[in-house]
């Protein structure tokens, strides 16, 4: 069991550092398929582990001056609020419709990644308009997280690159920082509902923290176009996974 936790954490950590995502898209299905975790327990455990591994990723990106601190805070506040809205909306909206909507969004993002190549020296400018936009993105990300258990870097990284003109590295570092308070907030709620295995989360998070640094190092080595291609491949896998769930939901 411990070795399985370590392997899951190591895999999610590399993805976290390389793409600026939490790694929940790896942690949750592996906990369910390999270790027979309940879906809710797997999601809660994943969120707690992400709080640990994302912290290591933030340090790595911060050392390279690739974190926009204030925008990350704005995103995090919006995401915490949005998660509460998403949880409230959960029993009121069709999961299948939501998943198809998200599939469409991801396809549009994948295409855009080949059209817009970020410059490594691009600056994420903060003014009233961009601050309001970041707050809105944070809220929408939180709603998605509450409704279908995805969000974080999958949404924030491409939006920061394509809409706000951030470099790919700043987008990833900022995304990881945003996840920490969001994950901690969610973990507190999951703990009260007994939907988190703290031992598993600690081991997975520690393993992820060790390999997140490796992923962040690789992210700095590859050029922006290659980074976009790799991220597009990753998003394609997520899109396929979400489409399968949507088809199953419609049949159900």
Asked if residue 108 has pLDDT above 80, the reply is yes
pLDDT value at residue 150: 66
For residues 52-70, average pLDDT: 91
Residues of the chain with pLDDT > 70, as a percent, come to 96
Res 86: pLDDT: 77
Rounded CA-CA distance 204/217 in Å is 20
What was the pLDDT predicted at 149?
61
Q: Are 27 and 221 in contact (CB under 8 A)?
A: no
Confidence of residue 151 (pLDDT cuts 50, 70, 90): low
Show the tokens assigned to 121: 């020296």
| pLDDT given for residue 115 in this prediction | 81
Q: Is the pLDDT of residue 21 over 60?
A: yes
Q: Please determine, for residue 98, whether its predicted confidence score (pLDDT) is greater than 90.
A: no
Mean pLDDT across the chain: 86
Extract the tokens encoding 221.
């080595």
In percent, the amount of the chain with pLDDT more than 90 equals 35
Is the Cα dihedral 235, 237, 239, 241 positive or negative? negative
> pLDDT band at residue 106, thresholds of 50, 70 and 90?
confident
If DSSP codes are grouped into helix, strand and coil, which group holds residue 163? coil
Which is higher by pLDDT, 166 or 185? 166
Phi and psi, residue 206, nearest 5°: -65, -45
pTM, rounded to two decimals: 0.85
Name the more confident of 28 and 6: 6
Looking at residue 215, what is its pLDDT? 92
pLDDT value of position 90: 66
Q: For 171-217, what is each residue's pLDDT tens digit? A: 999 999 998 888 887 788 778 878 889 999 999 999 999 999 999 99
88 C-beta neighbours (distance < 10 Å), count: 12
pLDDT at site 250: 61
């Amino acid at each position: 069991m411990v070795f399985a936790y370590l392997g899951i954490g190591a895999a999610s950590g590399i993805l976290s550092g390389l793409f600026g995502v939490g790694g929940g898209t790896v942690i949750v299905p592996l906990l369910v398929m390999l270790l027979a975790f309940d879906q809710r327990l797997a999601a809660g455990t994943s969120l707690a582990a992400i709080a640990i591994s994302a912290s290591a990723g933030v340090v790595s990106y911060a050392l390279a001056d690739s974190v926009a601190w204030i925008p990350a805070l704005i995103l995090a506040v919006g995401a915490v609020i949005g998660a509460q809205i998403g949880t409230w909306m959960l029993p009121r909206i069709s999961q299948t419709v939501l998943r198809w909507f998200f599939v469409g969004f991801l396809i549009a993002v994948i295409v855009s990644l080949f059209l817009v190549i970020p410059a490594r020296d691009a600056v994420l400018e903060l003014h009233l308009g961009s601050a309001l936009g970041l707050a809105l993105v944070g809220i929408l990300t939180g709603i998605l997280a509450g409704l279908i258990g995805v969000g974080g870097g999958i949404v924030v990284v491409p939006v920061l690159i394509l809409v706000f003109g951030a470099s790919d590295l700043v987008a990833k570092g900022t995304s990881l920082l945003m996840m920490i308070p969001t994950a901690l907030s969610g973990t507190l709620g999951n703990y009260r509902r007994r939907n988190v295995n703290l031992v598993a989360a600690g081991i997975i998070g520690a393993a992820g923290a060790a390999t997140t640094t490796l992923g962040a190092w690789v992210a700095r080595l590859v050029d922006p176009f290659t980074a976009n291609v790799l991220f597009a491949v990753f998003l394609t896998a997520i899109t396929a996974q979400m489409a399968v769930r949507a088809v199953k939901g419609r049949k159900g």
